[in-house]
Amino acid sequence: MPTVELTFSPLAAHVRTARLVATAVARRAGVEDALLDEVRLAVGEACSRAVALHARYAPDTPVEVCLTDEPDEFTVVVIDRVGDSGDELAGGLSSIDPMDLVSPDSEPGPLPSGFGLAVVTSLVDDAEVERTTTGTTVTLRWKAPATGLAS
Amino acid sequence: MDLSLATKDEGDITVVEVGGEIDVYTAPKLREQLIELVSNGRYQLVVDMESVDFLDSTGLGVLVGGLKRVRAHDGSLRLVCTQERILKIFRITGLTKVFPIHASVDEALTATD
């Protein structure tokens, strides 16, 4: 059972709340201080993506975040309920030439679809993205330091 | 923490001082600021990010959009940032190749490359 569960309406303003809660629980779980910025960014990216999808396709359905403090690791699971989101960036960030992003031929606007999730998987060593017909589950894990997590 | 924005002109260059968190909620405010500057003919921009506490890919997208807009007028968009937590996302996305990143506003103002 998760240590903390969050469900929130798909509003951009709530992503910050999710980041704050995730960082606070991670700190309490004993995640190293040096990794807290990584937790904050990765959870923010995963929640931003979920909120954008829900806002477009499932505005009445909340986004779910489960934070679990286990003896040897801290786990964050971000769940959206939008199937076939089609935002997979094949090849991840390495498939993008940064110079193309600022090419005069491209219109000013958002980065390519899937960019945020590609940041997550580049940032977090243990990140898993599971896509099903009913939605996507993004699981992020951080190992406990050698001394173990705080109780 | 919300986003704070302030601008000051240094000759042809406009320095945009950004503070707080640039994320999916606040990034539109920065986007509007950059669009307004370009609309007013300010094409040489320095974005001072020393007081930015958080930046995600939505914020990066706004900066990339701003860079494209000023380049369309032969302008430039330079960043000032020394915080490792912010620099990290530029590095992992390869965007250090497209943004000149400086250690101080003075350095950005006098840069010629």
pLDDT given at position A108: 61
Residue ranges covered by each domain of chain A: 4-143
Closest CA to A54 of A116, A136, A117: A136
Q: Which residue in this structure is represented by tokens 């915080």?
A: B83
- Helix, strand, coil % over all residues of chain A, rounded to 5: 40, 25, 35
- Domain B3-110 falls in which CATH fold? Transcription Regulator spoIIAA (3.30.750)
Total residue length of chain A: 151
Q: CB-side exposure of A30: number of CA atoms within 13 Å?
A: 14
Architecture category of domain A4-143 in CATH: 2-Layer Sandwich (3.30)
Over the stretch A13-64, which tens digit does the pLDDT of each residue have? 999 999 999 999 999 999 999 899 999 999 999 999 999 999 999 999 999 9
The mean pLDDT of chain A is 89
Residue ranges covered by each domain of chain B: 3-110
pLDDT given at position B78: 98
Residues 6+ apart with CB under 8 A from A118: A89, A92, A93, A96
Mean pLDDT check: name the lowest of A18-32, A136-150, B24-38. A136-150
Over the stretch A98-141, which tens digit does the pLDDT of each residue have? 888 887 777 666 688 889 999 999 999 999 999 999 999 999 99
Amino acid present at B58: T
The answer on pLDDT for B88 being more than 80 is yes
Task: Look up residue B1 and give its two tokens.
Answer: 């923490």
How far is Cα B80 from Cα B104, in angstroms, rounded to an integer?
A: 6
Check the CA dihedral B35-B109-B20-A32 and report its sign.
positive
* CA-based R_g, chain A, Å: 16
Contact residues, chain A, for B93 at CB < 8 Å: 93, 96, 98, 115, 119, 122
The answer on pLDDT for A88 being more than 90 is no
Closest CA to A37 of A16, A23, A25: A23
pLDDT given at position A49: 94
The size of the A-B interface in CB pairs under 8 A is 84
**Complex ipTM value:** 0.92
Over the stretch B50-68, which tens digit does the pLDDT of each residue have? 999 999 999 999 999 999 9
Contact residues, chain A, for B94 at CB < 8 Å: 93, 96-98
Angle in degrees, 0-180, between the axes of helices B57-71 and A115-123, rounded to the nearest 10: 120
Contact residues, chain A, for B88 at CB < 8 Å: 37
Mode of pairing for the β-strands spanning A135-143 and A73-79? antiparallel
Task: Determine the residue among B56, B74, B85, B88 to mutate to test chain A binding: the one whose Cβ has the most chain A Cβ atoms within 10 Å.
Answer: B56
